[in-house]
Amino acid sequence: KARRVGGSTHQVSIEIGSTQGKALAIHWLLGASQKCLGRNMAFKLSFELVDAAKGSGDAIRKKKRDS
């Protein structure tokens, strides 16, 4: 969220709700799956879900970068 402090604008972290957090996580998973080269979307999404469960993968890196 943008906050104006002392004449300049800064990005400030805010807590989001659980529904919005789930939607954001699904968005990250789908985006990471679409970037991968593979057979079809079902395989790419399943591989990304397995990587997310292990704590690796593009969706997890995006989560850590944005947090």
Mean pLDDT, to the nearest integer, of 6-32?
A: 89
Q: What is the pTM assigned to this prediction?
A: 0.71
Q: Say how many CA atoms lie within 13 Å of 47 toward its Cβ.
A: 16
User: Closest by alpha carbon to 56, among 31, 32, 40, 37?
Assistant: 32
pLDDT band at 27 (very low <50, low <70, confident <90, very high): very high
